[in-house]
Amino acid sequence: MWTLDKVRRAVEDELTDDSSVKEDLMCLQLELEAGDIDDDEYLIREKAIMQRLREVREWREQLGMSIGGGPVRVARDNDETR
């Protein structure tokens, strides 16, 4: 049965999953390598994909999920001093 909570979770999964964006990026790169598109067209479409990636990242941050990139450090519980 669908509850509001399930709906919310489904929407969140959709907003925070960047796998389809990454796949689009790889396909775009294939098109460039195959010579189907030129550099100018590539850059225009790449820009749109980067925008989508940023949107996913913002949602992940808002929902307290991990994001790739950005400053990191060794997690404290892993911090064995030698």
Partner 1 sequence: MKALDASIAEAGSGSETAGESLASAGEEGKYVYCIIRHQAARDFGEIGIGGGARVYTVQHAELAAVVSDTPIVIYDPTRENVLAHEFVNETVMREFTVIPMSFGTVFRSEEDVGQLLRSTYEAFTDVLEKMKDKIEFGVQIRWDRDRVVESIEHDNDEIRKLKDEITRNAASSTYFARMQLGRLIEGALEDSAGRYVATVHEELRRVSVASRSNKVIGDRMIMNAAFLVNRSDEKAFDDAVKELSLRFEHLLAFKYTGPWPPYNFVNIKLKLEKAD
Residues lying near partner 1 in the complex (CB under 8 A): 22-23, 25-27, 29-30, 32-33, 42, 46, 50, 53-54, 57, 61-62, 64-82
Cα-Cα end-to-end distance for the chain: 54
The nearer residue to partner 1, 1 or 73, going by C-beta atoms, is 73
The nearer residue to partner 1, 2 or 79, going by C-beta atoms, is 79
What is the smallest separation between the CB atom of 14 and partner 1, expressed in angstroms? 19
Distances (CA, A) of 28 to 12, 15, 51: 26, 21, 15
The nearer residue to partner 1, 7 or 50, going by C-beta atoms, is 50
What is the smallest separation between the CB atom of 9 and partner 1, expressed in angstroms? 17
Cβ-Cβ contacts under 8 Å for 57 (sequence gap 6 or more): 18, 67, 69
| Residue closest to 12 by CA, chosen among 68, 61, 69 | 61
